[in-house]
Amino acid sequence: MLEPWIFIALLLGAGMLLPGVTIVANWLLAPKKPNPIKQSIYECGIETVGETYIQLKGGYYIYALIFVVFDIEAVFMFPWAVAFDKLQLYMVMEGVIFILILAAGLAYAWRKGVLEWV
Amino acid sequence: MIPLSWYILVSAALFSIGIYGALARRNALAILMAIELMLNAVNLNLVAFWRYLTPNVVAGKVFVLVVFAVAASEVAVGLALIISIYRRRHTIAVEEIDMMKW
Amino acid sequence: MDWQDFLSVLPFIIVAGWATILLLVDLWIPANRKGITAGLAVLGLIAAIAAVISRFGIEREAFDGMIIVDGFSSFLQLLFLGVGVIAIAQAYDYLRRRDIERGEYYILLLYSLSGMLLMASAGDLIVVFLAVELLSIPLYVLAAFAIPKADSEESALKYFLLGAFASGFLVYGIALVFGSTGTTALSGMVAAIESAETTPILLLVGSGMILVGLGFKVAAVPFHMWTPDVYQGAPTSVTSFMAVGAKAGGFAALLRIFISALPGAAVMWMPLTMWIAALTMAWGNIAAISQTNIKRMLAYSSIAHAGYIFMALPAAATPEVAPEAVRAALFYLVTYAITNLGAWGVVLAMEKAEGSGLEIEDYSGLGKKRPALALAMALFMLSLTGIPPTVGFMGKFYLFQVVIDANLIWLALVGVVTSLISAYYYLRVIVVMYMRDGEPEVRSEALLNSTIFITAFGTFFFGILPGFLLKMINQVSLLDLFR
């Protein structure tokens, strides 16, 4: 009963130990010569401008909503793909029709201009 | 092995929390999240029943997928509705969207 | 599994597939010619009607019992498709008048209809859940169709939140029934209950929760709170479709689940449904009296009518009466659909462009200005009350008789008394139309007028000669399949 848990505990310990050792070793061995340019947020790249807490545009939300739906519909694709070589012809066709319906939805959203980043 | 009744109890607790949230919260988004919690309680129930009672029949598993997909489309419609209301009124507190008497 | 299975769901495939095709076609139809979309949508519905009629009388299970095709499903599918055609005809001019004409309206309506069609032939609780959602989700969007109008927004939000809440209950109930009987197939549940291989407590809670979930959908007391607000706020053409279609869809599921799949558990749900029926009739009719807005009044009236149809469930708990109870419920659904579509049609004709003209007072003088329209409205009000020679009388007569046959005399008495109460507010509309003076502003649109004419004719015709309808309903054999 307990054996699998011991195994999990061992794995957990090993999983913590390995990155921990490298991080600590890095901190101990690395030379420390700080200067302002090194400590800036982006060593290379442009400085940030303005507040961090800004509102995003509405177009983004609609994009996200469409993503939510398509993301979840993929759940039906997995069993279909896993059993693909055992399927009969009409089952394959059903899957194709399912994808076509999703494509119709995508085409609708595209034509309505939802996919453009406004 | 953990007995089936534990799963049913956890699921019932989740469902009750969902009901409480849906009835007590004022923010439409929070209500939506509470309703999702209710649906997830159902999923837990379905998977547990499938595993313990009918592991050889696929119906229970498939039902979970269907509930997932339907919940997602419901959420998408609901969020779209809430966004369009928020854009105009700058509030989604349900007691403020109450011109008609309940 | 063979190609016959696909033929069994042909009406559903036609409507859902046509909606998806139209969704794309509509993108290239210019905004001022959306009448084309409406026409194409009606064509699809006619094709589906032809598909149902050509296979009328066939009884079979398809997709391993997921789909049941029988007289019950075919009859209800015809009803839904007819409601769909009338709903599109009613919406066309109304949408232009309110300046919310968009092709998506008809497409969403088709999607919702496809959910109803699926519901009528659902043979598995998974399909029931899927159909409920397919029916409801487009309706949430339709209720929001007049956004940015504030009342449409509010109506849609309330409908969505309470509808989603209710489907949570429904699906939890389904999960518990699955846990109790070990199957989601309706036919399998009958066998499981008969052989007593169930967990009674799960079955009790589960069927109770299914009752709550579907009770929300059909607007039965005490789950009716959303109805008046949603019906009032939604665009009137949507309300008309919602009041008839969604309710009939909910009852299709209730009858199928409780009468054909759970007759063995009748002891559990019989008292519940009895009280729901009595409360719904009483509260719907009493609350309707104080309404001054015609949309709210008709909303409470639709709650009350849900109560009348609900009476069929406790009556069907007596096995000998069950087939007759199903038929009475179907007959009542048809009378309700015809009469209500007509009454909402008159409301549509009276509504002004800016959404006013919805008070009962606005109807004063209608009898003088538009005698035909007033006569039609009077007919619908008489039918809703249940006064001969209208179809509403036949429906109530049939239903009360079944309830008395099942030895539920007090329930039938509640029905009769509440019908008498309802006469007060229905007849008040007639009094206002004929006895008061006023200058009502009425629309005269060809499509709308023809729907009012057709429904008024139906109300009168089936009221004096119900034989045709009864003959068709008598072929309905919901129960034979599982015996």
Confidence at residue C480, expressed as pLDDT on a 0 to 100 scale: 53
- Adjacent-strand bridge partners of C61: C68
> How does pLDDT run across C447-479, given as a tens digit for each residue?
999 999 999 999 999 999 888 888 888 877 665
Beta bridge partners of C60: C69
Contact list in C for residue B84 (CB cut-off 8 A) is: 144, 147-148, 153
CA neighbor of C159 nearest in space, from B49, B77, A34: B77
Residue ranges of the alpha helices (H) in chain A?
3-29, 36-39, 58-73, 77-82, 89-111
Domain co-membership, A26 together with A63? no
pLDDT at C323 over 80: yes
What pLDDT is recorded for position C483? 45
The amino acid occupying position A113 is: G
The CATH number of the domain where A88 resides is what?
Answer: 1.20.58.1610
Mean pLDDT per block of 10 residues along chain A (118 residues) reads 81 94 92 79 70 68 85 88 87 90 92 78
Unique residue bearing structure tokens 């009338």: C86
Is residue A48 in a domain?
A: no
Range of the domain at A11: 3-39
Mean pLDDT of chain C: 91
Q: Is residue A2 helix, strand or coil?
A: coil
- Classify residue A52: in a domain, yes or no: no
A101 contacts in chain C (CB < 8 Å):
20
pLDDT band at C1 (very low <50, low <70, confident <90, very high): low
Classify residue A75: in a domain, yes or no: yes
Name the token pair of C174. Answer: 């389904």
For B40-54, what is each residue's pLDDT tens digit?
A: 999 999 999 999 988
Q: Which residues 74-93 of chain A have a CB within 8 Å of chain B?
A: 75-76, 79
- Chain A positions in Cβ-Cβ contact with residue C21 (cut-off 8 Å): 104
User: Given this model, what pLDDT does residue B83 score?
Assistant: 86
pLDDT tens for residues C182-238? Answer: 889 988 888 888 887 778 889 999 999 999 999 999 999 889 989 999 999 999 999
C340 touches C383 (CB < 8 A): no
Query: Could you tell me the two tokens for C281?
Result: 């009739």
A44 in a structural domain: no
Report pLDDT digits (tens) over C357-393: 888 888 998 989 899 999 999 999 999 999 988 999 9
- Local structure of residue A42 (DSSP, 8 states): -
Inter-chain CB proximity C24 and A104 less than 8 Å:
yes
Q: C-chain residues within 8 Å CB-CB of A106?
A: none
Burial class (CB in 10 A: 0-12, 13-18, 19+), C448: buried
Q: Is residue A92 part of a domain?
A: yes
Beta-carbon contacts below 8 Å between B and C: 117
Reported CATH class of domain B4-96: mainly alpha
Complex-level ipTM: 0.95
Q: Are A102 and A68 in a shared domain?
A: yes
For A51-80, b/e burial (b = at least 16 CB within 10 A) is eeeeeeeeeebbbebbeebeebbeebeeeb
Predicted local distance difference test score (pLDDT) of residue A108 = 93
For residue C67, what is the enclosing H or E element?
strand C67-69
Close Cβ partners of C38 (under 8 Å, ≥ 6 residues apart): C88, C91, C92, C106
Stated pTM of the model: 0.90
Q: Please tell me the predicted confidence (pLDDT) of residue B86.
A: 85
User: Is C359 in a helix, a strand, or coil?
Assistant: strand
| % of chain B exceeding 70 in pLDDT | 94
Q: How many residues are present in chain B?
A: 102
Residue owning tokens 């709903």: C87
CB C467 within 8 A of CB C109: no
Tens of pLDDT along C5-63? 888 899 999 999 999 999 999 999 998 888 899 999 999 999 999 999 998 878 888 88
Judge whether A101 is closer than 8 Å to chain C, CB to CB.
Answer: yes
If we measure between CA atoms, which residue out of C264, C75, C262, C72 comes closest to residue C185? C262
Whether the per-residue pLDDT at C411 is higher than 90: the answer is: yes
CA distance C51 to C215: 31
Residue ranges of domains in chain B = 4-96
In this structure, the number of other CB atoms found within 10 A of the CB of residue A86 comes to 7
Indicate the number of domains in chain A: 2
- Token pair for residue C21? 């095709």
Q: How far apart are CA C452 and CA B60, in angstroms?
A: 47
Cα C405 to Cα C397: distance, rounded to the nearest angstrom: 12
- Specify the residue for token string 């004929």: C434
Asked if the Cβ–Cβ distance from C27 to A111 is below 8 Å, we say yes
What whole-number distance in Å separates Cα of residue A95 and Cα of residue B90?
42
Beta-carbon separation of B97 and C126 below 8 A: no
Q: Are C118 and C130 in contact (CB under 8 A)?
A: yes
